[in-house]
Structure 1
Amino acid sequence: MLEATAAVRYSTGEGDQESQIKAQLESSRLLEKMADINAKRKEMSAGLNRLLGRSGNISIGKVVSLPIVSLTQEELGKSEELALVNAPSVLIKSYAVKAAKYRLESADLDFWPDFFVGAGIGYDNNYEPMALVSFGITLPLWQNVKQKPLKRAANLKVGESEKLLEEAKLAVSSEITNLIARWKRDQEQVVIYLKFHCF
């Protein structure tokens, strides 16, 4: 409307061209801001859908009212604990630690001798049937070449998997702390908006 008014005044000789150009620039700035706001809205909508476990294409309607949501300090503390229990990355890494520990146990068992028993039926030189029974023991005589390197590798794998689990827990804890900080900021802004709306 301002641009149209400036154009009419300029065409009738009552205004200068500078006013019309300023109005056009301001109009283009507003359109740019609106495009930025729409892009930010879509980004936030995708983030909310991710947190709710929904498809990113589901649109979130316009906010009609801003309810004040209160969480106690105890509930905020439990949110981190709950996230650590249910985070897929932490769950996968914890099972990787268990698997590495099982491999270490298996490597320890290789240091013990193995006993075996066998039975079968055969024929002698006269083609007479006979029963065969065998007993045996396998001794780990080559420990330095086979068993000890396998145990060292399994031990290192346990340490690596435990560090990866700790990293996953720290990442989840950091994300929860970030989300709680953003939530508190948003709640403060809701209060400000409600006060402003009352005026």
Structure 2
Amino acid sequence: MHVPKKVRWIPAILILAMAGASCSAQAGDALSLAQAEQLVVQNNPALFAAGKRAEAMATVPSQAGSLPDPMLSLSALNLPVDSFSNTQETMTQMQLGLSQRIPFPGKLALQSEVADYQAEAALQDRREFRLLLLRNTRIHWWNMAYLGKALSIIRHNQELLRNLVRIAETKYKTGKGLQQDVLLAQLELSNLLERELDLTASSQREAAALNALLGRPADTPIQQPRQDSPALEGSEPDIAMLKQQARHQRPMLLGRDADMQLAGTRLASAERDHYPDFTLGAAYGFRQGSTATGLARPGLASVMLSMNLPLYSGSKQDMAVDQRAAERAKAEFSVRDAANQVDAEIDAAATDLRIAKNRVRLFEQGILPQARQTTASMQTGYQVNKVDFLNLVRAQLNEFNTDIQYWQQVSALHQAEARLAAAAGLEHLSREGMQHE
């Protein structure tokens, strides 16, 4: 059977297009994932703000545990209003006084402890924010990696379809092909162009989000290094161990623990407010003039001790204790809720990771080889007129769509790893958090 010469070109065109899809050049300034992680820690302004807040809170305990500033007073006592003379009356004096408010023993220590727990909570909030920044950076980076692969595959597929359109047009003009083949190829090419627009828009949105995390202008171009297929390890996350690690390492849980301790200390401080505070003072009065014997009038010394009386404790201090007790109960429930939330995050991320790994294996061992074999078989059949143009195009499109789906699962795998590490309070999944199959 005679095979038209132009038809014989199709396998070569397909091979060249597939080879081009797997060989994309990358610029030397490509942003690797490690570089993105370093930049987000160094440049993210919100992380700096959280750090400064933690620094500010760390200065409060010393302030809260210090005595109030002493009070210095200067008074003119017992001045006669008829002359305002400081020598007319014996009790007229210019008084210099110093007083110090002294809280009931234990109050200052409790106030300092309250500030300590507030500072610890602020520090854990900063650590939690850093952990989530790294997680989100990895998610956006891998989304961009998938979209970049998808765009590369689609663009090479477009080139292939353009060649197929030319072949179909040539066959139609020579009377050896059908007009519907030309229209079909043109339609599929238009569909790919539309899909390219959607993926380009998604890639630009991901780039803007990633640049915002990195503290850079949203329109900063981002290029990524070439991605290879992942090396799937023969291990699965040890869920129980990761949950145990999260109890001791997840900043969110440590912060909620600090909040619970804070609430307990505030309750103790409210109970201590039933006791009075004291004010201790001393003064010295300078008198002018002389006594009847001609001697200078001596100065007068005064010592004072005062305290506040909690006479309205039923409507004030007792209510404050009830308030702080309710806040402590709320903090305890918040700790339990946070622990349950972390466990759910770990379970969900571990499930997504396991499914993504299984899908990647399925693509590598089954779907991808089968799609390529199907395309090759269709090409052979088309050359001998046993397969029509429609089935050839569909087979080729299915292969390229399969490639895109494969890289989508690779991206999902790495994103699940990022979410699992963050949920457990880890920067990276370690071997200690994995169990062998």
Task: Check whether TM > 0.5.
Answer: yes
249, 257, 260: which one aligns with 1:94: 257
Is residue 69–residue 187 contact of structure 1 (8 Å, CA) maintained in 2? Answer: no
- Cα gap change, 1:40/1:182 in structure 2, threshold over 3 Å: closer, same or farther? farther
Instruction: Give the % identical residues.
Output: 23
164, 174, 182: which one aligns with 2:344: 174
AA of the residue aligned to 2:354: K
- Cα gap change, 1:97/1:58 in structure 2, threshold over 3 Å: closer, same or farther? farther
- Cα gap change, 1:8/1:42 in structure 2, threshold over 3 Å: closer, same or farther? same
Q: Report deviation, 1:35.
A: 6.2
Q: Report deviation, 1:101.
A: 1.8
Residue 154 (1) aligns with residue 324 (2): yes
Within-5 A mapping of 1:59-70: 61-70=225-234
Q: Structure 1: 5+ residue runs without aligned partners? A: none
Within-5 A mapping of 1:18-167: 18-32=180-194, 55=214, 61-71=225-235, 75-111=238-274, 113-114=275-276, 116=278, 118-123=280-285, 128-167=298-337
How many pairs are equivalent? 192
Q: Report deviation, 1:31.
A: 4.5
- Quote the Cα distance in structure 2 between the aligned partners of 1:39 and 1:69: 34
CA displacement, residues 27-52 of structure 1 (integer Å, 9 cap, x when unaligned): 23345556667788899999xx9xxx
- Quote the Cα distance in structure 2 between the aligned partners of 1:163 and 1:129: 63
Is residue 239–residue 346 contact of structure 2 (8 Å, CA) maintained in 1? Answer: no
CA displacement, residues 94-150 of structure 1 (integer Å, 9 cap, x when unaligned): 322222222111111112x32536241322777633433333444322112211221
Higher relative contact order (CA 8 A, sep 6+): 2
- Cα gap change, 1:189/1:31 in structure 2, threshold over 3 Å: closer, same or farther? same
- Quote the Cα distance in structure 1 between the aligned partners of 2:228 and 2:165: 32
The alignment partner of 1:122 has SS state of strand
- Quote the Cα distance in structure 2 between the aligned partners of 1:198 and 1:62: 22
TM-score between the two structures when normalised by the length of structure 1:
0.71
AA of the residue aligned to 1:94: D
- Quote the Cα distance in structure 2 between the aligned partners of 1:154 and 1:8: 85
Q: Report deviation, 1:58.
A: 7.2
Residue 5 (1) aligns with residue 167 (2): yes
Is residue 239–residue 347 contact of structure 2 (8 Å, CA) maintained in 1? Answer: no
- Quote the Cα distance in structure 2 between the aligned partners of 1:163 and 1:94: 11
- Quote the Cα distance in structure 1 between the aligned partners of 2:192 and 2:334: 48
Q: Structure 2: 5+ residue runs without aligned partners? A: 1-162, 216-220, 289-296, 371-437
Residue of structure 1 equivalent to 2:365: 195
